Amino acid sequence: MDAELSPAEMPLDDLLDQVQRATFRYFWDGAHPVSGLPYDKCLLDGTPGINAVSISGTGFGVMAIIVAAERGWISRDQAFERIETILTGLEKAPRYHGAFSHFIDPVTSEMIPFSALDDGGDIVETTLLMQGLICARHYFSEETFAARSLGDRITRMFDEVEWTWFSRGDHGVLYWHWSPVNGWAMNLPIQGWNEALSAYVLGAGSATFPIPTQAYHAGWARNGAMLNGEAYYGTTLPLGEPYGGPLFLSQYSFCALDPRGLTDTYADYWQQAVAHARINRAYCLTVPEYKDAGVWGLTASEAEGGYNANSPTNDRGAIAPTAALGSFPFVPQEAEQSLRAMLAYDGGRLMNRYGLADAFSPKNGWIAPTYIAIDQGPIVAMIENHRSGLLWNLFMQAPEVQRGLDRLEFSRASV
């Protein structure tokens, strides 16, 4: 790549390589040097920002390592060894009816409470981890002892997740958290539309603790109450809250679950993801400071005053690169435009050791001093799905995924 070319002039493939590769380094160079587990947060100089590993961030990190191996930034053997090391760390972690906690210690793998009541199993964090591990199992599918052993370990870990426990026995809805100390005190049902679609797909597809189809319809879909159908800025939104909410709601599951041609009685999921991205961008174009900077994208991220679920109805002025870059499969031209603008923003100040800073404010020049694993991961994954479909193709091969989609009565058109 010609270093003299500006972001506006570089070929798109060069820009995507540059951003994906730098962002992957968050999960490679920035992870714990012994356990290989990625820190939940790092400062822009690469040092850990918090001495904790998020389970969902680990799932995204596994995906990033697969992409790096496929792109040749590391060898396939290096990727395999790192994922084996990560899996060993995960196997030491406590599980609660098969589910991992939100945070674990990067050295000991012990549970770290996320909040006063959140000190047990988190089924959504567990789902986002399993997405990455299932992709790894299918990426390393060689007929060798090592590959079979890795795959068996991942399958065993998945099969130990008691999805039925997290439905509290009533089969009406999955619940997010359970603690051996606080029980169901968090009392948070997983109801759509949000980032947890894969929890119902994997829960229905489990060979050991499958949830029934009714849990999806009555719990997730709320018997149709998750439908939207209103138009915002001229785009009809099939599902979810007004204006779509933060973009991660349509990105976390779709880092692995392929929405192309995916439909059920409620929606066409490609249309859902495209509409959500278009509405988010259209709102940003109504904000002069965003429009003038040529950037868009609101999602859960750092913001001045602290972490915030930024959206068109809750805008604290923080544009997060992961929002537009995670939309590359859905609105590629608009994502490219924002990428070029972000790389040029303020003389290139957003781009640091491990890619673009977590968020920034065109309104006053603030730039987040950190990266966050759950924002860095979708950048690598979704750009790759746009470029090659790699992670989508791996995940959709899994028998757990195929069973889950079939049991929940999804249809899948060929792509």
Say whether 390 sits in a helix, a strand or coil: helix
pLDDT of amino acid 171:
65
How far from 164 is each of 205, 213, 257, 399, 412, CA to CA, in Å?
Answer: 12, 12, 22, 19, 26
Surface-to-core class of residue 357, CB atoms within 10 Å of its CB (0-12 exposed, 13-18 middle, 19+ buried): buried
The encoded tokens of residue 164 equal: 């039925």
Say whether 243 sits in a helix, a strand or coil: helix
Q: Is the pLDDT of residue 319 over 90?
A: yes
CATH number of the domain within which 367 lies: 1.50.10.140
Q: Is the pLDDT of residue 148 over 90?
A: yes
Count, residues in the chain: 415
- Spatial contact of 199 and 125, defined as CB atoms under 8 Å apart: no
Of 269, 274, 270, nearest in space to 235 by CA: 274
Mean pLDDT (the chain) is 96
pLDDT band at 8 (very low <50, low <70, confident <90, very high): confident
Is 295 or 5 the better-scoring residue by pLDDT? 295
d(C-alpha 308, C-alpha 287), whole Å: 18
Choose the weakest-confidence range: 165-174, 199-208, 261-270, 331-340: 165-174
d(C-alpha 109, C-alpha 6), whole Å: 44
Q: Is the pLDDT of residue 3 over 80?
A: no
Establish if 361 belongs to a structural domain. yes
Mean pLDDT throughout 123-151?
Answer: 97
Establish if 171 belongs to a structural domain. yes
Establish if 215 belongs to a structural domain. yes
Mean pLDDT throughout 341-348?
Answer: 96
Residue keyed to tokens 């090659």:
388
Mean pLDDT throughout 3-23?
Answer: 90
pLDDT of amino acid 6:
83
How far from 32 is each of 41, 85, 136, 225, 352, CA to CA, in Å?
Answer: 12, 11, 20, 43, 19
Establish if 317 belongs to a structural domain. yes
pLDDT of amino acid 1:
42
The β-bridge partners of 239 are 227
d(C-alpha 167, C-alpha 212), whole Å: 10
pLDDT of amino acid 172:
74
How far from 39 is each of 129, 174, 341, CA to CA, in Å?
Answer: 14, 28, 28
pLDDT of amino acid 5:
78
pLDDT band at 9 (very low <50, low <70, confident <90, very high): confident
Mean pLDDT throughout 115-133?
Answer: 98
d(C-alpha 368, C-alpha 377), whole Å: 17
pLDDT band at 261 (very low <50, low <70, confident <90, very high): very high
When divided into structural domains, the chain yields a total of: 1
pLDDT in tens, 186-222: 999 999 999 999 999 999 999 999 999 999 999 999 9
d(C-alpha 20, C-alpha 64), whole Å: 9
Q: Is the peptide bond before 193 cis (omega within 30 degrees of 0)?
A: yes
The encoded tokens of residue 11 equal: 């070929």
Share of the chain above pLDDT 90, in %: 96
d(C-alpha 125, C-alpha 121), whole Å: 9
Share of the chain above pLDDT 70, in %: 98
- Spatial contact of 317 and 331, defined as CB atoms under 8 Å apart: no
Establish if 269 belongs to a structural domain. yes
Q: What residues make up the domain containing 121? A: 26-412
Establish if 278 belongs to a structural domain. yes
Sign of CA dihedral 159, 164, 167, 168: negative
How far from 115 is each of 102, 275, 311, CA to CA, in Å?
Answer: 10, 34, 24
pLDDT of amino acid 415:
67
Establish if 242 belongs to a structural domain. yes
Q: Is the pLDDT of residue 141 over 70?
A: yes
Establish if 2 belongs to a structural domain. no
d(C-alpha 336, C-alpha 181), whole Å: 47
pLDDT of amino acid 169:
75
Of 183, 150, 118, 130, nearest in space to 104 by CA: 118
pTM above threshold 0.85:
yes
- Spatial contact of 54 and 2, defined as CB atoms under 8 Å apart: no
Q: Is the pLDDT of residue 316 over 50?
A: yes
